[in-house]
């Protein structure tokens, strides 16, 4: 791969290429945008270009790309480039005092200090530059950001740091102001649909996942992968909507227990497909996907009451959406959606999964017209 192969982020890519051609490359970037829209892929290809020994530059049209064949490009490809580093919270167990430490929720200062701040002063060995990609920069806590700030204030001339961030508001103004911000927008639903269809996914599944993903092609592809396993998400969502549309208070524990089993099966299938994501993150991704499905159904029901002509995410279960819309007013649906977002925050905070699903479902059952 190279920069020209980055999917649907032409604006960000051409901005980087112009900067490269002009030879004025900032020492620190924030790539800001939702999860799964190509921030990491772009950062990786940008790093490959910055490190390349023989970059392909066309000044007239201001495009630039890595050569793909030099020693540096091959080292990035082989994941063994001495001047290229990806910093992520899972590195905690390789810090001095990190033995037996579990993956933390935030990006701890020990990781930033030992893998970035302490190492940035040694000169590059293979290329002319050193590149650091910091994943999930929204999880940098204040101590980590303050530690990083020292480098951002006076970066060595050869260094380029790229912070990947889904929430700019989580970064301190002092961090933000020292970085060039490059924005990454959601990918078009149509493009995601095309990509999913190319993998052999059925039309209904491809439409559903592309709408549900809200522009996160990475997430849509991960869901699509599950369809090849026993933990197919599409069948699960069909059953989930059947249960949720007429959920009774007394059925909540059973439905929640079933959802918990399904979530575990999804996490298990995912962990067999990807080995560089921590178990905790995979568990969270599975629970969040299920909550996301409920949110989409509630949104559909709300739109049915207010703007019926809009195309639903759950276009294939209109009857269930009508049942939900019949049970709750738009105001109630809005409150339930906001309750679901609160549950997403619980998941981020590491609240027990059983509790998460019970709360999710009680939220959907509780204000059903109860006879007094
Ligand atoms: Zn090269």
Cα(127) to centroid(ligand 1), Å: 10
254/135 same-domain check: no
> How many distinct structural domains can be found in the chain?
2
pLDDT of the residue at 369: 52
* Residue 204 belongs to some domain of the structure: no
Rounded CA gap, 303 and 300, in Å? 5
105/26 same-domain check: yes
- Tell me how many helices (H) and strands (E) the chain has: 15, 7
Rounded CA gap, 26 and 320, in Å? 52
Single residue among 148, 183, 218 that ends a domain in this structure: 183
Q: What are phi and psi of 305, to 5 degrees?
A: -75, -35
Three-state DSSP class for 142? Answer: helix
Mean per-residue pLDDT pooled into runs of 10, the chain (372 residues): 81 90 92 92 95 87 88 94 93 83 83 94 94 95 94 93 95 95 93 92 95 93 89 91 90 92 92 80 92 95 77 92 91 93 91 92 71 42
* Residue 215 belongs to some domain of the structure: no
Q: pTM of the full predicted structure?
A: 0.82
Rounded CA gap, 25 and 97, in Å? 36
Residue 296: which of 269, 336, 257 has the closest Cα? 336
Cα(12) to centroid(ligand 1), Å: 21
Single residue among 183, 217, 237 that ends a domain in this structure: 183
User: Which residues line ion ligand 1, judged by CB < 5 Å?
Assistant: 52, 66-67, 70, 73
Rounded CA gap, 72 and 79, in Å? 10
* Domain extent at residue 285: 229-365
Contact at 8 Å (CB) between 181 and 196? Answer: no
Rounded CA gap, 162 and 173, in Å? 16
**Domain containing residue 234: CATH number:** 1.20.272
178/242 same-domain check: no
Single residue among 183, 214, 243 that ends a domain in this structure: 183
pLDDT of the residue at 309: 65
Cα(107) to centroid(ligand 1), Å: 31
Rounded CA gap, 239 and 348, in Å? 25
pLDDT of the residue at 372: 41
233/146 same-domain check: no
**Domain containing residue 119: CATH number:** 3.40.50.300
């Amino acid at each position: 791969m190279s920069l020209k192969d980055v999917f649907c982020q032409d604006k960000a890519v051409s901005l980087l290429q112009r900067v490269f051609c002009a030879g004025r490359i900032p020492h620190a970037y924030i790539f800001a945008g939702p999860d799964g829209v190509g921030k990491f892929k772009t950062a990786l290809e940008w790093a490959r270009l910055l490190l390349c020994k023989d970059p392909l530059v066309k000044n007239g049209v201001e495009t630039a790309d890595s050569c793909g064949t030099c020693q540096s490009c091959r080292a990035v490809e082989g994941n063994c480039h001495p001047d290229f580093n990806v910093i992520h919270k899972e590195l905690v167990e390789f810090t001095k005092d990190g033995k037996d430490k579990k993956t933390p929720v935030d990006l701890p200062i020990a990781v930033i200090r030992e893998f970035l701040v302490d190492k940035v002063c040694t000169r590059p060995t293979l290329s002319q530059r050193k590149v650091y990609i910091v994943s999930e920069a929204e999880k940098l806590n204040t101590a980590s950001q303050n530690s990083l700030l020292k480098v951002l204030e006076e970066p060595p001339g050869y260094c380029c740091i790229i912070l990947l961030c889904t929430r700019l508001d989580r970064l301190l103004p002092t961090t933000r102001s020292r970085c060039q911000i490059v924005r990454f927008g959601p990918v078009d639903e149509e493009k995601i649909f095309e990509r999913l269809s190319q993998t052999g996914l059925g039309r209904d599944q491809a439409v559903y996942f592309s709408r549900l993903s809200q522009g996160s092609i990475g997430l849509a592809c991960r869901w699509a992968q599950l369809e090849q396993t026993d933990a197919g998400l599409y069948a699960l969502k069909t059953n989930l909507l059947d249960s949720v549309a007429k959920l009774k208070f007394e059925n909540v524990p059973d439905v929640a227990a079933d959802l918990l089993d399904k979530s575990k099966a999804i996490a298990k299938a995912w962990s067999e497909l990807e080995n560089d994501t921590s178990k905790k993150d995979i568990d969270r991704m599975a629970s969040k996907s299920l909550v996301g499905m409920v949110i989409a159904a509630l949104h559909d029901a709300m739109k049915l009451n207010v703007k019926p002509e809009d195309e639903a995410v759950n276009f294939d279960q209109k009857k269930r959406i009508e049942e939900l819309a019949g049970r709750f007013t738009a105001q109630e649906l809005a409150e339930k959606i906001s309750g679901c977002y609160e549950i997403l925050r619980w998941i981020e905070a590491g609240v027990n999964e059983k509790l998460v699903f019970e709360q999710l479902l009680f939220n959907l059952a509780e204000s059903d017209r109860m006879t007094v």
